[in-house]
Amino acid sequence: MILLVALYGCETWSLTLREERKLRVFEIKVLRRIFGPMRDEVRKEWNKLHNKELNDIYSSPNIIMVIKTSRMRCTGHVARREAWRGVYRVLVRKAEEIWEAQA
């Protein structure tokens, strides 16, 4: 549920590297909260999970890959639309052609 709420409308986002890092940090914080600390049976201590351990436990693709997959799926839907639709024309034409057609 958290992923669905956090990524609502992600198909239209234009992400910078900084925003991608922030999303990745958010994902790791949520995973740490969900999985909690692990008990080390040898030392009898509770330890915070490292990022690699969290990624091994949580086998789903990371948040950035989910966004990129959603973008590609959305682009595929738009590419199969009728040629007269505005969103299709934006995808396949240059911006100048669109402005000329409207004028």
Residue ranges with strand state E in 48-98: none
76 and 103 in one domain? yes
**Residue 56 shares a structural domain with residue 67:** no
Say yes or no: 46 and 80 in one domain: no
Enclosing domain of residue 54 = 15-60
Q: Mind listing the pLDDT tens digit for each residue in 41-89?
A: 777 778 788 888 887 888 778 888 889 888 888 888 887 877 777 777 7
Say if residue 24 is in the same domain as residue 48: yes
What letters, b where the CB count within 10 A reaches 16 and e where it falls short, cover 39-78?
Answer: eeeeeeeeeebeeeebeeeeeeeebeebbeebbeeeeeee
Can you give the pTM of this predicted structure?
0.65
Q: How far apart are the first and last CA of the chain?
A: 45
